Amino acid sequence: MSHGSEGSTKAIFYALGANFGIAVSKYGAAFWTGSGSLLAEAIHSTADCANQLLLLLGLKEAKKPESADHPLGHHRVTYFWSMVVALLLFFMGGAFSVYEGIERLLHPAPMENGLLAMAVLGVAVGLEAFSLWGAMKEIRLESGGKPFLQWFRETRQSELMVVAGEDIAALIGLALAFVAVSATVATGNPLWDALGTLSIGVVLMLIAVAVMVEVKALIVGESVAPEMRAEIEAFVAAQPEVETVLNVITLAWGAKAVIAVKARMAEMDAITGTEMVNRINAVEERMQQRWPNARWVFFEPDVR
């Protein structure tokens, strides 16, 4: 969460530019060759373009100010749009590709200009690799050196997670499409193209489900990343005003965080109410200086 939404926005624009160019080239090649794998990939790229626009909309809505109806702002709206994107990836990309693959298995059609299809797929791989490079660059800044799978499970940047998932799905899909088209060109058997289309759909659906599982956890309510949670507890315990940390609750709130602390204050029985308030305010101020994304800090003294 420390890198904020700026890195996510960059990654989304990388992906949007790449996918728009890929979609145009795939549609042209699919029309020219009659390849089902290319058509499935073209639909997937179109869905990706729509998805990235929705993610940008979510980031824009998240900047709306707090109000009486939304006292903690709209930051979590990014989780909603990330779930919508994952559903579109599942149905518009994955389910359509599976349907198209089954149709081509039942009604095989010959492929024309297979070499053109392979050339277009090669260009698409290059563009998609550029998009994934942009996403991974921002992930490295946000992850603090974690392995990718660990970052994927622990990140609270839902929009960056979605972009990375889409890009990985796209590269795997392109590889499958290239193999399917190559096999069809080599053998003249359209069965390979149909199997490639079906395989692409299955991959997209699996990755979409993985993204949905992670985004669901954020929508339900998930704490900040484990290392940040541990740092907060250690930081509060080290403050001279605090004797014992009794409980720390954190909540990921889009690019922001909510922190609630319950602690026994030092010399609690010997200070006045005004001194207690001043000490609590001092600790809260230091916490927000240490973690600027901690938009809300609630501190409760207790004697447990």
Question: What does the alpha-carbon distance between residue 224 and residue 295 come to, in Å, rounded to a whole number?
Answer: 13
Cα dihedral value 188, 101, 31, 166, nearest 10: -120
pLDDT recorded at residue 19 = 80
In a domain, 1, yes or no: no
288 inside domain: yes
Please count the structural domains in the chain.
2
Tens-place pLDDT, residues 218-228: 999 899 988 89
| Whether residue 291 sits in one domain with residue 148 | no
Residues 58, 180 share a domain:
yes
Residues 203 and 67 in one domain: yes
**Distance in angstroms (rounded) separating the CA atoms of residues 278 and 267:** 14
User: Which range of residues forms the domain containing residue 238?
Assistant: 226-301
Using one digit for the tens of pLDDT, what is the confidence trace for 146-157? 899 999 988 888
Identify whether residues 40 and 121 lie together within a single domain: yes
**pLDDT tens digits along 182-193:** 898 888 888 898
Residues 139 and 95 in one domain: yes
pTM of the full predicted structure?
0.81
Task: Specify the pLDDT at position 93.
Answer: 79
Same domain for 197 and 271, yes or no, is no
**What is the residue-level pLDDT of the chain in tens, covering all 304 positions?**
444 566 678 888 888 888 888 888 878 878 887 777 677 778 878 888 888 899 999 999 988 988 889 998 899 999 999 999 999 888 877 888 898 889 888 888 777 777 877 888 888 888 888 888 888 888 888 887 889 999 998 888 888 899 889 889 888 988 898 898 889 888 888 889 889 889 988 998 999 999 999 999 999 989 998 889 999 999 999 999 999 999 999 999 988 999 999 999 888 777 788 899 999 999 999 999 999 989 899 999 988 7
CATH code at 256? 3.30.70.1350
**Residue that is written with structure tokens 């277009």 in the block:** 120
Burial per residue of 19-35, b for 16 or more beta-carbon CB atoms within 10 angstroms, e otherwise: bbbbbebbbebbeebbb
Residue 104: which CATH number? 1.20.1510.10
Q: Tell me, yes or no, whether 92 and 29 share the same domain.
A: yes
The answer to whether residues 122 and 169 belong to one domain is yes
- State the pLDDT at residue 218: 92
